[in-house]
Structures are given as C-alpha cells and as structure tokens.
Amino acid sequence: EIGESPGLKMTDEIIQTLHKIITADWEDVKFKIYENQDGHWVIRFYLDSVDSERGLIAYMNVFMRCNELVRKYQMTRVTENWNVKPGDGSIYFTLRPAWVVKKVDEDTFVAPPPHISEFVTRAREARAAEEAEENM
C-alpha cells in the first residue's frame, strides 16, 4: 500500500527489486546499488556501458516520479547527490528511503547571502531592544 514504511527489515528486498526493474529497462548497462553510511541508496552506473548518458538521466528522473516501487515506499532523490559524475567513470543517483530522516541542511538548506544575514541579525537585535524597553 502507498505510504508504507517498512524500515530496515525490507531494505535488501527493495534494493533487489529496484535492481531487477532497472536491469529490465537497461539490460546492457553495468550498475550496482548499495546503501551508504547515511542509509541512502546509491545507484552507480558505469559510463563505459551507457550508450546515452542523457537518456539515462531522463530515465532516472522519470523513474523517480513515476515508478510504482518508488512511490509505494515514498523514496525521494538526494538532490546534492543526484546525477553526480565525480570523474571515476561513473554517474551516481542517490535515493532516500522514507524511513531515513532528512538532515536539516540536506537538499534544501542554502546559506543566505551575507547582506541577508546582517539584515536578519539587525532585525533580531532591534526586536530584542524593543522587548527590553517594554519590560522596563
């Protein structure tokens, strides 16, 4: 059922199923799926076996939006580790299972520009001064 969170007990089974699905669609492509230290699932494709890198990227993007298994277990992409080519002859796509808690600074945290930080600091100082005056 959609929304189910099986946790760690089904990790190996789900990874094996993901492997079968991708193998059926990309039978001549060499890849492996493994769990990293954060509990994310990394799909590593060996570029020397990929005919169309653009096609693979498009496939993975559609896969994340439309695949039944991905939807069932509410997997999401780890944006900063999606479509990454570190120069080792591979391309990496990283998924986060629903039961892995997203870190606060992961995906969405972007440090504000310095002038915004200064503005926020000044606003907080002004608010604190106002509250101090009210309490006197």
pLDDT at residue 55 in the model? 96
Q: How far is CA 59 from CA 8, 26, 78, 83, 134, in A?
A: 27, 10, 16, 11, 60
Return the pLDDT at 126: 65
**Run of H or E including 83:** strand 76-84
pLDDT at res. 98: 86
Whose structure tokens read 């005056």? 133
Q: Is the pLDDT of residue 26 over 60?
A: yes
So what's the pLDDT on residue 22?
97
Average pLDDT score, the chain: 82
CB 95 within 8 A of CB 75: yes
- Contact between 7 and 99 under an 8 Å Cβ cutoff? The reply is yes
Q: What pLDDT is attached to residue 60?
A: 97
- Is the pLDDT at 23 greater than 70? The verdict is yes
The whole model's pTM is what? 0.70
pLDDT at 39 over 80: yes
- Residue 77: its pLDDT value, please? 93
Q: If pLDDT is split at 50, 70 and 90, which confidence band does 6 have?
A: low
Closest CA to 43 of 54, 26, 51, 52: 26
Q: State pLDDT tens for residues 75-110.
A: 999 999 999 999 999 999 999 998 887 775 554 444
Structure token pair of residue 55: 């096609």
